[in-house]
Structure formats: structure tokens, C-alpha cells
Amino acid sequence: MMRKTFIIGILLIFAAGTAAAQDVLTLESAIEIGLANNYGINIAKNSLKIADNNATPGNAGMLPKIDVNAGYAHQFSSAKQSTTTGNSLDNPNANSDLFTAGINLNWTLFDGLKMFISYDKLKKLEEIGDLNVKISVENTLAGIMAAYYDIIRLAKVTQIIEEQVGISQFRLELAKLKYETGSGSELEFLKARVELNSDIANLSNQKTVFINSLATLNELMARDVTSKFNVKDTIFLHYQLNYDSLRAGMREANRNLLLYNRNMEVSSLNLKSARAVQWPSVGLTTGVNYLNNQSEANFINYNRNFGAVIGVSAYMNIFNGLNMQRDVRNARISYATSELEMKQLENKLDAQLLKIYNQYLNQMELVLFEKENVQLARKNMEIAKESFEVGSISSLQLREIQKNLLDANTRLVEAEFRTKLTETALLLISGKLLR
């Protein structure tokens, strides 16, 4: 018996000493660390940077293209020429030197407004990248909050089991005393000892689950998973979440809904781009070129040209196997599909919001109900312990009342945890989690 008391004492002293040595990690600090370090968020931010770099007029084809060229060539040849006037040239070692240089500008002046459509599309893709970052932040935020509240839940369950271990220890001590004084049976004493061992094993398993939950939160914060910390032991619940307000917020600020809306706008731009191909394109070409040619293989030994050139070109496809018309039809179908997907998502989110809100209301009621149950179960336990001391109830009855207290406490903790999860889910789906 003294050995069991010593083991329990060591467990509790170790837990208390560890708690005292560790810093308290608040939910706000966990969120701050997680949002700064989370890998998924940083990956999404890098994708946004690429989309931001791509959203330029030049990438859309709105700016001119300027090329500079230069070249030199030396030619060894054997030249033999004659003219109708009787002049002739016969040089078996004729050398030629050619120098060229130039700067040229090509600029598309009109392409059916496709360049402007492309620029608008690049800006929309940038907005999509920004929304993906916010979605990643929201999901990380919700995950950190859930992991943090889970740690509180598991810590409370651990405390509940520790209380049960204390009650089982009280029961064992009393059963041992009765057995040693002859007023109780050995069977009752052994049964009390077996059940105490069971509670201690349950406590050990619960502590392992609790330690693993710390690693889960550390992983979400993208820091050393072995980092030790404590959390606050209270889950605060909101009592003012209104369905109509949540639904209005969802329609206005739900990030996934906004993302689908941007994708639908991109589909609309794709349709415009497909139509723009049917228009002619007009381009401007201008430049300055230099040529210097010295040759021993010609009657003209020296030739130099230097000057500017400017021109306008136009191009229009008349027929390409009806592919332009096919592209327009496909783009129109894609846009119609994006509209259907948008309506589908709106309907899905409406259903999700309603179901989560109903769960939220139910969990709130359960919290109030289980609080009352815990008070009753605790009072019943106090009476049962006094009755067991005087022999008014059996050890089996005490164990049953002990189990009722364990169940009532556990149900309350679970109800508070699930309420907080549904509350977080409501804030997430309504776009109010990230302000």
C-alpha cells in the first residue's frame, strides 16, 4: 500500500514540478508563432509572390520588345567572275569581312484587346494567390486553436482521472483497514487494489496522450516538437453567436466562396480572350541597322549601309479548321460550369453552416446540463464516501458512484471542447475567424 501511495505521489509531484518549470503558452502566442512559422502558410506566400511578379503589363504583352544584335563574319573563298562588258575577276585567295549591328523594336498595337484581357487575368490570379494565403492562414489558425483546446481538454481529463485515483486510494486504504481488523473480506481488499491499479494505468495512458498533444501543437507551430510548455486551463465560450449574422458574414467574407468567385471571373476573361483571337492584330516595327561589307570576291570592294526602318504589319486568321469557334464554345461552357460550381458551393456552405450551428446550440445546452450533473455527482460522491466509511454502502456501490462522477466530469469537458470546436468552425465558415 505504501508503495502505491509513493508511486502516485511521485507522479503528482513530477507533474507539479514540470508545470512550475515550464512557461505558460497563451493561445495568442501560439497563433502568433504558428502564423509566422507554419510551412503551409509560407509556401502559399511564395506562390503569391510569383503571382505578384507575373502581374505586369509586360507579361500581358502590352509593352514593346526591343532587340539588339551585332555580328562579324570573315570568309575565305576563291572568286572568279566575268561581266558582259568584258571585265573579269580571278582571285583564288579572296577574303571578305562583314560587320552588322542593329536595334529593333516590335510592338503589338492592337490584338483584339487580348493584351488587356491577359493583364486583367494576371491581376485576378494575383487575387487568387492572396486568397489562398488567407485560406491557409485561416486553416492553420483553426488547427492551432483546436490543438490548443484539445490540450486543455486532455489536461482536465487527466485531472479528473487523478481525482479518481485519489478516491480509489481512499477506498483501498479503508478496505485494507477493514480487512486487517476483521470487519471486511480479503475479496473486497483485493478488488479495491485491482481497481486502483486499473485507475493508475489509465492515468499513465492519459498522460501519454496529453504529452503527444503537445507535440501536435508544436508541429502546427512549426517549431521543435519536443518543446515543453503549459497552457491556460479554461475554455471560454461565446454566448452571442447569431445564425443570421453568421450567414450574412459567410456570403460576404467566406474565403472559399470568394475564391470560387475569382475563378468564375477568370473563366469570363478566358471567354473574352477566346473571342479576341477572331480580331486582326496590328504591329509596329522600327529599328536602326548598320552593315559594313569589305570583299575581295566582288567588283564592289566596299559596301556600307546605315539607316532607320519603320513599318506596320497586320495579321488576321481567316480559317484554321474552325478551331477558333471551338475554343469560344469551350470557354463559354467552362464559364457556365464555374457558375454552377459557385451555386453548388453556396448551397453546400449553407447546409454546413446550418448543421454546425445546430450542433453548436446542442453543445451549449449540454454544457449547462452537464455542469448540473457534475455538481450532483460530486455531492453524491461525498455522501457515498461518508456512507462507505460507516459501512452503509458496499464497495461495488461506491465504485459505481465513483464511475458516475468520472463520466459526468468527462462529459462536461467533452461538451465544452466540442462547443469550442463548433464555435471555431462557425467563425471559420462565416469568414470571421481572420479579421
pLDDT tens track for 319-363: 989 999 999 999 999 999 999 999 999 999 999 999 999 999 999
Mean pLDDT to the nearest integer, 183-209:
92
On the question of pLDDT at 1 being above 60, the answer is: no
On the question of pLDDT at 65 being above 90, the answer is: yes
**CA pair distance 392, 385, nearest whole angstrom:** 10
CA dihedral 45, 49, 50, 51 (to 10 degrees): 90
Lowest mean pLDDT among 153-157, 266-270, 274-278, 394-398: 394-398
**CA pair distance 112, 276, nearest whole angstrom:** 5
Bigger pLDDT: 71 or 234? Answer: 71
Domains of the chain by range and CATH? Answer: 2-37+111-280+316-429 (1.20.1600.10)
Question: Grid coordinates representing 166?
Answer: 485519489
State residue 11's pLDDT score.
43
Mean pLDDT to the nearest integer, 107-122:
95
Phi, psi dihedral angles at 297 (to 5 degrees): -105, 20
- What is the enclosing helix (H) or strand (E) of 192? helix 186-220
Name residue 64's beta-bridge partners.
none
Q: What average pLDDT does the chain have?
A: 89
pLDDT in tens, 269-279: 999 999 999 99
Mean pLDDT to the nearest integer, 107-134:
96
State residue 300's pLDDT score.
63
* 3-state SS string for 323-375: HHHHHHHHHHHHHHHHHHHHHHHHHHHHHHHHHHHHHHHHHHHHHHHHHHHHH
User: Could you give the C-alpha distances from 48 to 124, 127, 133, 263, 314, in angstroms and in order?
Assistant: 12, 8, 7, 16, 37
State residue 78's pLDDT score.
64
**CA pair distance 383, 273, nearest whole angstrom:** 80
On the question of pLDDT at 10 being above 50, the answer is: no
- Nearest alpha-carbon partner for 416 in 354, 375, 360: 360
Answering whether pTM is above 0.85, one says: no
Mean pLDDT to the nearest integer, 360-372:
95
State residue 232's pLDDT score.
85
State residue 82's pLDDT score.
64
Q: Predicted confidence band at 90 (pLDDT cuts at 50, 70, 90)?
A: low
State residue 89's pLDDT score.
61
Q: Predicted confidence band at 156 (pLDDT cuts at 50, 70, 90)?
A: very high
On the question of pLDDT at 127 being above 90, the answer is: yes
Phi, psi dihedral angles at 434 (to 5 degrees): -110, 110
Question: In terms of DSSP bridges, do strands 88-110 and 65-82 run parallel, antiparallel, or are they unpaired?
Answer: antiparallel
Lowest mean pLDDT among 235-244, 348-357, 370-379: 235-244
CB 216 within 8 A of CB 145: no
Q: Predicted confidence band at 84 (pLDDT cuts at 50, 70, 90)?
A: low
CB 175 within 8 A of CB 395: yes
CB 274 within 8 A of CB 324: yes
Mean pLDDT to the nearest integer, 227-235:
87
The three-point CA angle 221-226-232 to 5° equals 65
CB 353 within 8 A of CB 250: yes
- Nearest alpha-carbon partner for 268 in 62, 117, 52: 117
**CA pair distance 32, 25, nearest whole angstrom:** 11
State residue 2's pLDDT score.
39
Mean pLDDT to the nearest integer, 378-400:
89
Q: Predicted confidence band at 286 (pLDDT cuts at 50, 70, 90)?
A: very high
**CA pair distance 7, 19, nearest whole angstrom:** 18
Mean pLDDT to the nearest integer, 128-142:
95
% of the chain residues with pLDDT over 90 = 73
> Residue 367: CB partners within 8 Å, gap ≥ 6?
237, 412, 415, 416, 419
Of the spans 37-41, 118-122, 171-175, 296-300, which averages the highest pLDDT?
118-122
**CA pair distance 222, 34, nearest whole angstrom:** 7
Bigger pLDDT: 180 or 334? Answer: 334
Q: Predicted confidence band at 396 (pLDDT cuts at 50, 70, 90)?
A: confident
State residue 74's pLDDT score.
80
